[in-house]
Amino acid sequence: VETSVRILEDDVVFDAGTGSVLNSAGDVEMDAIIMDGRSLRAGSVACVQNIAHPVSLARQVMEKTDHTMIVGEGANLFAKELGIPQVPPDQLVTDIARQQWEEYHKYKRAVNELFDSQLGHDTVGAVAVDSEGNVACATSTGGITAKRVGRVGDSPVIGCGAYADNETGAVSCTGHGEAIMSVTLARTVTFNMEQGSSAQSAADKSIVYMKNRVDGTGGV
Ligand code: ASP
């Protein structure tokens, strides 16, 4: 899942790594998580800047620290300790991300309205299962255009933007972060699977639940 997500982070089409959307200050702030369904161990980073592959830093948090989440300056400091190279801020910024940001400033549109007008939710994710039934998931995102500086969405939050448990399955989410967090969407999917739903039916039920409870949209 780490390798898959790294490839998607490099692809300018997606809102993760290179191609991340810009916050209200015009900067990239990225969130990512990875989780191992065998141990229920997860690692995540939030509000991280100037690194190309937040998912790999999240994996290092999982494997090399006693923590689950490291944010902002601390995450960048940890990256430095590991020798992960910093990239110049502009390297992650695409013309489309800049254009969306300029549109926001020109029209001062509400963040939610702008988010709804975007074509799809371009956060990236991957889930996998091996021959022994071990599952894993990863999610990586630049968040939503013109988000407040320091805003953290669902993506790096365990049980919200991702969840993996060998006893049920692995989930990665995209959509409106605040709504996803309200219903802990990824964990809601595995909960429905625990109750006997197939993966597809658990995903469908959880999306409908989010719509009904908090009028949120997204995908898993
Ligand atoms: N869920 C992400 C966030 O709110 C955005 C997305 O999935 O497009 O940060």
Alpha helices in 123-196 (DSSP H): 177-182, 185-194
- Tokens 């948090």, residue located: 61
Q: Is the CB of 142 under 6 A from ligand 1?
A: no
Give the model's pLDDT for residue 119: 44
Which residues are registered as beta bridge partners of 71? 46
Query: To test the ligand 1 pocket, which listed residue (121, 157, 173, 182) has its Cβ within 8 A of the most ligand atoms?
Result: 121
Going by C-alpha positions, the residue among 137, 154, 105, 114 that lies closest to residue 36 is 137
Give the model's pLDDT for residue 129: 98
Q: pLDDT for 144-175, tens place per residue?
A: 999 999 999 999 999 999 999 999 999 999 99
CB 218 within 8 A of CB 120: no
d(CA 15, CA 194): 31
Q: Is the CB of 155 under 6 A from ligand 1?
A: yes
Q: What is the share, in percent, of the chain residues with pLDDT greater than 70?
A: 94
Cα–Cα distances in angstroms (integers) from residue 108 to residues 27, 28, 171, in the given order: 17, 19, 35
The residue contributing the CA closest to ligand 1 atom 8 is 121
Going by C-alpha positions, the residue among 61, 132, 50 that lies closest to residue 86 is 50
Nearest atom in ligand 1 to 152's CA:
9
C-alpha 103 – ligand 1 centre gap (Å) = 19
Residues forming the annotated binding site for substrate? 151-154, 174-177
C-alpha 45 – ligand 1 centre gap (Å) = 14
- 123 has catalytic annotation: yes
d(CA 55, CA 126): 11
User: What is residue 51's three-state secondary structure?
Assistant: coil
Q: Is the pTM of this model over 0.85?
A: yes
Q: pLDDT for 72-83, tens place per residue?
A: 999 999 999 999
Query: To test the ligand 1 pocket, which listed residue (33, 155, 217) has its Cβ within 8 A of the most ligand atoms?
Result: 155
Higher pLDDT, 20 or 107: 20
The residue contributing the CA closest to ligand 1 atom 4 is 177
C-alpha 153 – ligand 1 centre gap (Å) = 6
* Lowest model confidence (mean pLDDT) among 55-64, 90-99, 115-124, 146-155: 115-124
The average pLDDT across 32-51 equals 98
DSSP letter at 89? G
**What does the mean pLDDT of the chain come to?**
94
Going by C-alpha positions, the residue among 81, 59, 66 that lies closest to residue 126 is 59
Q: pLDDT for 83-103, tens place per residue?
A: 999 999 899 999 999 998 888
Give the model's pLDDT for residue 89: 85
Nearest atom in ligand 1 to 153's CA:
9
106: confidence class by pLDDT, cuts 50, 70, 90: confident
Is it the case that residue 24 has pLDDT exceeding 70?
Answer: yes
